[in-house]
Structure 1
Amino acid sequence: MYENIISTILKSPEERRNHELETIIPWLKKKSPLFQSTKKDIVLDIVKNCEFRQVRRDAMITQQGKKGDCFYVLLRGTVSIYINASMADEEDESKIAQRVHHEHLIDTDGDLDRDELGNLIRRMDQGSCFGEVALISKNCIRSASVVADETVDLLVVDRILYNRCLKAAQVADIEAKTAFVKEHPYFCSWPPKVKKQLAYSLTKLRVEYDNCIVKQGRVVSGLFFLLRSANFHAYLSIGVHSTRRTICK
């Protein structure tokens, strides 16, 4: 199925037949939360006019401080997102441009030096999307650097297609996240630039009844906030907790 999807997207938009695109849509809706909440005719427009791009490991897909004109959906692989806090509040485009030099990010062995990109904010895998901030903001500047952790396949949406299909919904989503961070008492003492970064990194997660949100003993992957009033239960295994304390000593 995946090979059929790629072979279809590799065709020019004029050569992509509707019956081919119809077979792609269920797969995209299953794999990507973005498409799950998007109307079928809009998804059809996207897969009809998008591009396919494959990126090698350690390649920089977006670079903080540079202008962006594309939105990306991860079809396969994982990426890491980095933010350099010292650049996060820079408004003057000329100043940003002076500070962005890709060659300075390469070490003596010719490999990408990720330490120069700032803090690791999060990792994304199949079905995730990124790049919308530059297409929504007035200055069109990338707010983060995104690096491939392995060879990745990307569905690429240009600015015109993005504005037509996705912009309105994603602007509303970012505004809701920004309002949440601004109003929540947990973040009241956080600096404005950190709040801004946080709003862009939040992910809304829907958990069905009787599913586990976090599990004792597993590595912490993030902080969860309950958006709606709901009943949930927290369980603590004393035996497991006691064993872990002994191991950590």
Structure 2
Amino acid sequence: MEQLQHTVPLVNSSFYQPSTFLLTGFPGLEANHHWISIPFCMFYLVGLSGNCLILIIIKKTQSLHKPTYYFLSMLAVMDLGLALCTLPTTLGIFWFKIRKIEFNACLTQMYFIHILSVMESSVLLAMAFDRFIAISNPLRYSSILTKPTIIKIGLAIVSRAVISLFPIPFLLKRLTYCGSNVLSHSFCFHPDIMKLACADIKVNILYGLIVILSPVSVDFVFIMLSYVLIIKTVVSLTTKEKCLKALNTCVSHICAVLIFFIPMIGLSVLHR
């Protein structure tokens, strides 16, 4: 009944923005949302506690105060941010059946979800660069990746994400929307919001693709290039043991890259 009331088109207004959006859990399984929330709570608990544990261990262990672990800390902070961005609305739907989210609050959540995703992509690129320097030029590793350099890299990562995604909320605010305000996720997502608009959304589609195909895809290309150079360096090592040892330091990073990039780029293209 609530959904029908929010899907009546407003024909008497030339410009319309809904005051709220309705988020969606699992359609048709509303009666089981409390049970579905159990694995979600476990995932959130593991993610939050695991990343907090990483940060605490790195902070308290002096031997881990190295560039590799600084970048790992950045990645943990991004993961915490993403979890905290989606947790309130997701658990609000499952536990309290709270589906409504105010228009500007939805845009704010969407903005932070997207900038954290772009920042995570940039941190993975920085980690690939870190591995390349460590393997190809180990004697100069500590002199190249100094603390001031890492701070500058961190600031560049934040600035790049904030600036590149800054127009997105304003591109959505300029649109007029149809009567329907029902989103298909339990959080606010740019492609999901723009599909509710009655206006021409070509600019939103193109800009969204530019953001994905520019920062994120460029990061992926440079990560792959870094690994080509790493493999080239590893192959030139004299012993098999050294070769395996060098590659073992990259395995976890490669897994993180694949887990992050494949779903992100795939879903972004499919949504469009």
With normalisation by structure 1, the TM-score equals 0.28
The structure with more radius of gyration: 2
Structure whose residues are more often strand by fraction: 1
> With CA pairs under 8 Å and 6+ residues apart, which has the higher RCO, 1 or 2?
2
